Structure 1
Amino acid sequence: MKKLFSILILALVMASCSNKAKDEALRQVAIKAVKDSLRLDSFKKAEVVKKQEQERLAKAEADKKEKKMLLLSRQREATAENAPATAQQAAPARKKGWSDAAKGTLIGGVAGAVGGAIIDKNKGRGAIIGGAVGAGTGYLIGRGKDRKSGRVQKN
């Protein structure tokens, strides 16, 4: 009985000697670690949700573009089927302002006249010849531009 009593007293002394502050510090560290892991988990979940939302929006946008393209192609087909043949052959609307041929004639004539007057000893004759050659050349260049732009139909 003495032995049993001494063992019990020894156990009580040992139990009372435990460092509660140390245990409490370990407990606080463990709680903090759990909170940090939960917070990290919530960030990861938020990133996954954000990524899924972006993918959903991108898919919806792609679907919207596809529907728009399909609608436009159907409208073009319907317009092409219903349009009379004369509408396709109708002349385009006339453009306003100077044609490229007129601009080329003016610029070429002035440049040719100045060049001819400088080159020839007889200033009047050089200006007339240079102006005529420059105006003709400017007209041909401008007419070519008009044909490319569709202002003038090819013969």
Structure 2
Amino acid sequence: MATKVTSFAEIQPEFERYVREIVYCSLITVDRKGRPRARVLLPIWEVVDGRPVGWLAAYKTPVKTAHIKNNPHVTCSYWSPRQNCVFTDCEAEWAEDQKTKNEVWELYRKGSPAGVGYDPARYWSGGPEDPEFGLLRMDPFRVQVVRGQDLRSKIWQP
């Protein structure tokens, strides 16, 4: 049974702990025919004005770009063998402004507030100005955390 919470702060500690422990998620997008497509990626999260904001450093492949353009709804699904889970249902859009790219590059490099990150220069040698460096912003409209030991679930929606 799921408990609804009114503030993201009520689930933030569990959210951050599970994201830090699991690290990678399956990012699910939807194609033009309404079919889901998953890929494993490493987003980072921060809290802005009491709400989670996800960032995904990624190549803007034709498939991802077409999916987001056609349907901006994505899900990030985290799962651990202990059955701890996080599901974030989001609206996504490509962030194009250089200031945001620079800031998120540093979040990745230094480790996000949840303690997850990596040096993006391993993939984009030109730094945050690299033309291949794509950045997807994800704004959740639903976040669910599930504790594996008893399957207790909490859901936040703005």
Structure 1-normalised TM-score? 0.20
Task: Name the structure with the higher strand share.
Answer: 2
Greater RCO, CA 8 A, separation 6+: 2
